[in-house]
Amino acid sequence: MEKRKLGTSGPEVSLVGLGTNNFGGRIDLEASRRVVDRAFELGVTLIDTADIYGNRGGSEEVLGQLLGSRRKDIVLATKFGMAMDDAGKLKGASRAYIMQAVEGSLRRLRTDWIDLYQVHQPDPSTPIEETLRALDGLVKAGKVRYIGCSNFSAAQVEEAQSTAKRLGLASFVCCQDEYSLIARDLEKDRIGVMRKHGLGLLPFFPLASGLLSGKYKQSAPFPAGSRLADPPRFAERFISARNWRLVEGLNEFLARRGHTLLELAMSWLAGRQPVGSIIAGATRPEQVEQNVAAVGWKLTPDEIAEIDRITA
């Protein structure tokens, strides 16, 4: 497994990471164990979760039970900020909430430290200085090693990095954002800001919830139990006439080259800067194997140019 440094100042991570938003929800403890065990065997060293995953806390609890002595061998990433209660009061990025949220994650994960602690979404009601001062305190206390953000706009990333530099605080080392062959909006502005500040990129939904895995056909029913079949909210997000046209164009491109859609989706991301690790979820060990094997295609400049024309 190829290893990369996450940005200019982050930890070293495996090129393919394991996303665990299925743990404690779509799959139970034993199914999660099989996925995690196979990920370790294949050299995956970045495991990404969030406090909200698994019906609010379930994913972290499962990982806390599964990692044991292997905890020290990985970069364990989690996130905070989305609502952890029905009333929407347990959320945000204020100092008071961060102090509460981090203790909850540490307890569920059964660990003394979090390698990468990420703000899951911007909090418009809290000044970024307050958020960064709180996170800086966690870094100094040894409860967090690195910090990052997710779903921030280019302007919000710029403000956060500038504020941290001005005040001498710990700064974000990475951004976790949606990025795939059918979701390239961040190229308009966010990637430029990431490069400017030496931030790594952790793409989520690299396979568009499976649309780029090759297992879905426009003319056939979705496989029972698959991500786009249940829950329907993922189908509503990814299934459109535009996206089917892109998939069709990519399949025509692949027909002349002997590679799969999965290999294209993962290898294309692996070749993009500043991608550090591709966050790929899995519900079965075989999916981990497929994701890890799919990053070996080195696309030529001409092939990349053709993909750009297809996905423009």
Provide DSSP, 50-98: -TTHHHHHHHHHHHHHHHGGGGGGSEEEEEE-S--STTS-S-S--HHHH
Q: What is the pTM (predicted TM-score) of this model?
A: 0.90
Per cent of the chain over pLDDT 70 is: 93
Q: Round the average pLDDT of the chain to a whole number and report it.
A: 93
Q: Which CATH number fits domain 3-208+269-296: 3.30.460.20, 3.20.20.100, 3.40.366.10, 3.40.50.2300?
A: 3.20.20.100
- Tell me the pLDDT tens digit for each residue of 276-300: 999 999 999 999 999 999 999 999 9
> Residue 213's pLDDT is what?
83
DSSP code per residue over 254-286: HHTTT--HHHHHHHHHHTSTTB--EEEE-SSHH
Mean pLDDT within 214-228:
62
User: Using 50, 70 and 90 to split pLDDT, how confident is the model at 214?
Assistant: confident
From 53, 97, 146, 179, the catalytic residue: 53
User: What DSSP letter does each residue of 123-176 carry, written as one string?
Assistant: -TTS-HHHHHHHHHHHHHHTSEEEEEEES--HHHHHHHHHHHHHHT---EEEEE
Question: Residue 242's pLDDT is what?
Answer: 86
Active site annotation includes 53: yes
Q: How confident is the model over 60-69, as a mean pLDDT?
A: 96
Q: Which two tokens stand for residue 265?
A: 């989706």
Arithmetic mean of pLDDT, 33-52: 97
